[in-house]
Amino acid sequence: MMRAPRFWDRDVDPKSREAAPLTRILLTPVAGLYAAVTRNRIKSADPVKLDIPVICVGNVSAGGTGKSPVAAAIRDRLAAALPGARVATLSRGYGGSEKGPLKVDAAHHSAAEVGDEALMLSATGEAWIGADRAAAGRDMHEAGVDLVIMDDGHQNPGLYKDLSLVTVDRQAVFGNGHVIPKGPLREPVSESLARAHAIVLTGSGDDPAELSDVTLPIIRTRLVPASSHLPGRFLAFAGIGRPEKFFETLKGCGADIAEDVPFPDHHVYSDGDLKYLRELAEARDATLITTEKDFVRLTPEQRTGIVTLPVRIEFENPAELDHLLGPLMERVKQAS
């Protein structure tokens, strides 16, 4: 996957050369077609409604908004509140050869088979993949799952969502506000939020001005590293939606970052990549460090000598989230 173009960013002056005004003009009809296709696909769909609750943690824009960590945190919260119930995530399995539906086994599957996000989710709880979300939802129900949490899929109309949460990064927000390929949006913001029940704010900083007129409930989160102090000298690398977020987190933990090396989201690391990184780290007298999501994409041989900084999501206003989850938890309790 290629890195997003600079003109997609929120902080680019629309009158500057970085904003690529001519390119954006040329891409306007393509963006309009992309939005129309998405709109018609959603409007004409007949979603499959399961007898068990389905929660979707999606987003408006392409790139990293923290969907997977949020889905994992909600799964943990529900599992703790519903002892004995099976709460499982459902991912598309992006980047994996398996199409599913199947339950992911962290001990036997690889990221090349099931995708990095699903494999990471399977390390801390029950996780499934399925390119066909409706078929996967049916299989999960038949297998005894009591509640499904979709990791991504806000624009996928195959499965009926009882609760739709849209993640928004506080810094990136909606980028330049345009639809792919003119901007990062999968669909116009107004259409996306019209199908949502709440917004989940991720990342650091204040609430974005773009949400000042939004009437949806806003659930605020913070990213909490496993360690608040990270001594040592590191060469950091990451192939996620916004690698700079990882680098900033490391610096916030007091890490001495000799150099940071970004890669495209979902990047599959070659032996050549690792050779380059190891030589660079040796030259900088540094230890290689990456994200958990990147680590699972490495082969066992490639992982040697590389450390990670585990992180988790905490909810700043959990009562707001529990209010939304309450009716779905009641359904699970009544069905058991």
198 and 95, same structural domain? yes
- Residue 253 is classified by DSSP as T
State the residue range of the domain holding 268: 227-309
Question: How many domains are contained in the chain?
Answer: 2
pLDDT at 256: 94
On whether both 118 and 237 belong to a single domain, the answer is no
Please tell me whether residues 98 and 215 are part of one structural domain: yes
Same domain for 200 and 58?
Answer: yes
Question: Which residues are within 8 A (CB) of 125 and not within 5 positions of it... i.e. 6 or more apart?
Answer: 72, 75, 76, 79, 87, 88, 89
Taking phi over 0 as left and psi of -120 to 50 as alpha, with beta for the rest, 309 belongs to beta
The answer to whether residue 36 is domain-embedded is no
Residues 198 and 278 in one domain: no
Contacts 24+ apart (CB under 8 A), 40-49: 41/157, 42/155, 42/157, 42/195, 45/157, 45/158, 47/134, 47/157, 47/158, 47/159, 47/160, 47/161, 48/134, 48/137, 48/138, 48/158, 48/159, 48/160, 49/160
- Residue ranges in the chain assigned as alpha helix (H): 21-44, 67-81, 111-114, 116-122, 133-142, 189-194, 243-252, 271-283, 292-295, 318-335
pLDDT for position 173: 94
Packing angle of the helix pair 67-81, 318-335 (nearest 10 deg): 50
User: For the whole model, what pTM was predicted?
Assistant: 0.90
Residue 217 shares a structural domain with residue 231: no
pLDDT in tens, 273-302: 999 999 999 999 999 999 999 999 999 999
Shared domain check, 298 and 219: no
Triad 183, 187, 189: Cα angle to 5°: 90
Residue-wise pLDDT for 98-151, tens only, equals 998 999 999 999 999 999 999 999 999 999 999 999 999 999 999 999 999 999
The token duo for 240 is 């996620």
Residues 165 and 272 in one domain: no
Q: Please identify which residue in the block is written with the tokens 């969907």.
A: 67
CB-based contact 121:148 (threshold 8 Å) = no
Q: What is the mean pLDDT of residues 6-17?
A: 86
Give residue 4's pLDDT band: very low, low, confident or very high (50, 70, 90). confident
Are both 63 and 189 inside the same structural domain?
yes
* Bridge partners, 165 (sequence order): 57, 198
Mean per-residue pLDDT over the chain, rounded = 93
One domain for residues 235 and 247: yes
CATH number of the domain residue 191 falls in: 3.40.50.300
Quick one: residue 312, left, alpha or beta (phi over 0 = left, psi -120 to 50 = alpha)?
beta
Q: Are residues 166 and 93 in the same domain?
A: yes
pLDDT at 1 over 70: no
Does residue 27 lie within any of the structural domains?
Answer: no
The dihedral over CA atoms of 41, 186, 153, 208, expressed in degrees to the nearest 10, equals: -140
Q: Enter the tokens of residue 130.
A: 């399925």
19 lies in some domain: no
83 in a domain, yes or no?
yes
Report whether pLDDT(198) > 60. yes
Query: Does residue 21 form part of some domain?
Result: no
Residue 129 in tokens? 């993949």
Residues 173 and 294 in one domain: no
Residue 24: inside a domain, yes or no?
A: no
User: What's the confidence (pLDDT) of residue 62?
Assistant: 87
Q: How would residue 79 be classed by pLDDT, with cut points 50, 70 and 90?
A: very high
φ/ψ of 142, rounded to 5, equals -65, -30
Give pLDDT, residue 5.
87
pLDDT band at 336 (very low <50, low <70, confident <90, very high): confident
What is the residue whose two structure tokens read 């040796």? 282
Residues 6+ apart with CB under 8 A from 8: 175, 176, 178, 183, 184
Q: How do residues 17-44 score in pLDDT, each as one tens digit?
A: 888 889 999 999 999 999 999 999 999 9
In a domain, 293, yes or no: yes
* Better-scored residue on pLDDT, 197 or 335: 197
Q: What is the pLDDT of residues 226-255, one digit of tens each?
A: 877 888 899 999 998 889 889 999 998 889
Per-residue pLDDT for 160 more than 90?
A: yes
**pLDDT tens by residue, 215-227:** 999 999 998 888 7
**Residue 299 in domain:** yes
Instruction: Determine the pLDDT at residue 2.
Output: 59
Tell me the residue type at 215.
T
